[in-house]
Amino acid sequence: MSVVSNVTVKVPATTANLGPGFDCIGAALRLYNQFKFTCVDTGSLIIQVSGPECQRVESDQTNLLYQSFLKLYEYINQTPPRVKIDIELGVPLARGLGSSATAIVGGLMAANQFAGLRLSLSKLIDLAIAIEGHPDNVVPAMLGGCRLVATSYNSHKWEICDITWHHHIIPVLAIPHFELSTPEARRVLPTEVTHKAAIFNTSHLGLLIRALATNREDWLKAALQDQLHQPYRQALIPGYDSVHRAAMSNGAYGMVISGAGPTLLALADTTYAQQVATAMEMAWQKEGIKSVVRSLTLDTQGAVVL
């Protein structure tokens, strides 16, 4: 058994894509899931879950958090300890806020603690991306802040770039009381895009990086546009157009789909953030859709072992 008897990991939610940065950019938010692993001598796996939607989390060996825990031990070719797991949910499930990324990162980091910190941070990131399939959620969840991720020149490692985020830019998240699964959101995407669309997104992602650093209004309003995923996913989100109009008419720089959705993310200056939040909630309410709208700030620490 490990010399460590218990490990608690706190992992932030994330918002990914930010419009033109499909599958390559994401930001950590001050909204968290917390996972406590306790070594036990005997018995079968016990997973206890508390918090909103706790009844929907798998409590057997198929649980993604536990599977990620096992994945690290499989990688280092060691037998994992028997554990009891307590999960405290704060990140809504299947809403485009990186709930699966929190589980992957939490499981890997807890396992690494029990294993005596066998793996470096870069190797943990590699494993997390391999499990998730793309880097835009797991990297900011692990490191915090806003991160752009790309493969290196030989495609054998990941290059991670810290993106400066101006402190006056507030993420306003409208989280509806309905779900949209990532596989469903991916099924509507085309398998090929035109050169025109690729050039459009390349230019707008470059502009977005400068706009986030400078809080320049005209750049932000242009930069949040996208042609790779949002035009195809908007139809999956009831009331999208109404919420978009409400956000823009109340001072938002722009509105995008958070991750695969259905959460909608508006960026606004601190002066307008609250009225944007109120307008987005009222717009969905008029569509007969309940939502929770939150103005958040970026988490700059990433996942931490408590």
Out of 172-186, 218-232, 252-266, least confident range:
172-186
Q: What is the pLDDT of residue 301?
A: 97
In this structure, is residue 281 part of a structural domain? Answer: yes
Flag whether pLDDT at 200 surpasses 60: yes
* Domain CATH code at residue 212: 3.30.70.890
Residues 229 and 82 occupy one common structural domain: no
The pLDDT-based confidence of 190 (bands split at 50, 70, 90) is very high
**How confident is the model over 151-163, as a mean pLDDT?**
87
Question: Which residue range(s) make up the domain with 88?
Answer: 6-163+299-305
In this structure, is residue 291 part of a structural domain? Answer: yes
Residues 61 and 125 occupy one common structural domain: yes
To the nearest whole number, what is the mean pLDDT of the chain? 95
Cα distances (Å, whole numbers) of residue 41 to 2, 84, 115, 224 = 11, 10, 16, 52
Q: How far apart (Å, rounded) are the C-alpha atoms in residues 217 and 211?
A: 8
Reported as a single tens digit per residue, the pLDDT across 56-102 is 999 999 999 999 999 999 999 999 999 999 999 999 998 999 999 99
Residues 141 and 195 occupy one common structural domain: no
Q: What is the pLDDT of residue 152?
A: 83
Q: What is the pLDDT of residue 2?
A: 57
Residues 201 and 150 occupy one common structural domain: no
Is the N-terminal amide bond of 262 cis, ω within 30° of 0?
yes
* pTM for the full predicted model: 0.94
**How confident is the model over 210-219, as a mean pLDDT?**
97
In this structure, is residue 249 part of a structural domain? Answer: yes
Q: How far apart (Å, rounded) are the C-alpha atoms in residues 278 and 301?
A: 29
Q: What is the pLDDT of residue 102?
A: 98
Number of domains making up the chain: 2
Asked if residue 173 lies in contact with residue 258, where contact means CB atoms within 8 angstroms, the answer is yes
Reported as a single tens digit per residue, the pLDDT across 13-56 is 999 999 999 999 999 999 999 999 999 988 889 999 999 889 99
The pLDDT-based confidence of 110 (bands split at 50, 70, 90) is very high
Q: What is the pLDDT of residue 3?
A: 67
Residues 145 and 226 occupy one common structural domain: no
Q: What is the pLDDT of residue 184?
A: 86
Residues 90 and 66 occupy one common structural domain: yes
Flag whether pLDDT at 170 surpasses 60: yes
Residues 12 and 152 occupy one common structural domain: yes
Which percentage of the chain shows pLDDT scores above 90? 90
Flag whether pLDDT at 1 surpasses 60: no
